[in-house]
Structure 1
């Protein structure tokens, strides 16, 4: 049955290029945004970035607040401060945690959100969803999609290589997410958007091509990766859910995050989950694994400090993370013996 309406919120403008931070004043004016602004940033955002940003904001009223993690306590603190200063716009400047807090606060107080990522670590820079800890299971919640994204490739290219690689891992995972989505449509009758799915798949293909480019031309590779992350986020905005970008590979990653908090970056865990679920789906997991190794992504449990039995357990409970979301794992999940076989045959455990 068709729903009454399907609302698609997309960014009004995406600015992508080099040395864009110095031009933020002009961008904000062109977007007809009024101050005061609240700049949400993190403890590891480099002074060189923030000093340029603050120079560009010098003619506006603005306040700055620093967050250390994407949890509900930080969200409440930032929200209270935003209301106190009567912020009209929330500007997130930083990595995934900063962006998630900023857009979730913007959603809660119904203000515009501007995304200025400093690391291409996952597609949260564009998507209208946020991963906030302390709200139950580690799944995404509805947030404010960005009115505008300002992606400075010069800045993104200087992010730690591990974060860049994590962005590759997160994006390649869309190969699995789209297959799971299509399977769910056949089994449960769930809505499936062909165009949206194609957009997510295109992002995954670009991320795969990045694995051949990043070691030769970092900046060119980061630009392609950033565009892939942006289009993946747009796909989620069009679908109205994380379905095009999050399937059984993410359920595995979330299971690991529940069992072993702090072990591995999100994109690294998604990368390992992608290898495992590619095997289950019967697609070329060896090609995916080879590409991940090429950029230095972890492809086994040992590389992220997870015990082998932890991988097996995560595979057996992954289906229960989001029981309403049907994937290749089915309703009952994997048995311990099946999970162990998959993990050993793919080399995720030895």
Structure 2
């Protein structure tokens, strides 16, 4: 019947005498059901125009809000956030990280969450970051109790948020059965709270694993010749966490080959400076070529002074070598003077001991040294 009415309407409208049958048109139009516009809520456009999301962010977030038929709830949430001092960028971060927050009850959920997090010392922007990291897992009782534990453990709010961003499982993991036993195991290994924070902020998954895994990592770190409780033990643990036993074994093989070290020499170097295991192969190779081939250092000398491999090749090792060699070539420095003594000191001490005393005999030395630090080789340093 509806199709028949539409056909009749179309024919009448196309008829040249349509003006003479307007009463019939009005009758048929009244009989036909009204066609209402699409009442659906344009979520994606709302996210862009009102919440400040990019089109790509809105496209990703909109499926999670497809059930919304009107902006009533989102408007209430945005009004609450605005009224509590959240900036437009804070709001965008919250909505992009957890779009479903727009469906939250202001009185029953958001209000208590913001109040308690503020009570813990979090700023509006920090609360926004936290909500965006939690991806809908922000259960008030759980998050407050866990933050009360994590804040002193990680040492600051920013460190805590960074750890949460890297490992969402910190929110859902059981404090009593998982997290606290892992922290206790790390303390038993000789790590203080400051070391635990420095170790776990970049690798928070350590706190959500099991105690047996922690103990295995501690044992592996000890096998590198780094004793528990020593200043370098945290770095040994860090190498174990990021590399694992197989990659550590491969890296030791690379070190022995690149620096011509024996097993014992490689062990000495790593025990003194376990960070060495996390240096890239390219940086290690370039330092080996310079220190052994150009400077002429013995592999054993480097193994006992592995900190040499931590310094910038272009900003420290090479420029200071040029200065020391220039001074020796011109009889201004004893030829037996140790190269490491020139490299290990601070920039200020290096200037005081190796540059300033020779300004009269070598007036361009400071200028040449500065030029060498910029990656250039002054004429006077071309031996």
TM over 0.5: no
Flag the structure with higher helix content.
Answer: 2
Larger radius of gyration between Structure 1 and Structure 2: 2
Greater relative contact order structure (CA < 8 Å, 6+ sep): 1
Range into which the TM-score falls when normalised by the shorter chain: under 0.3
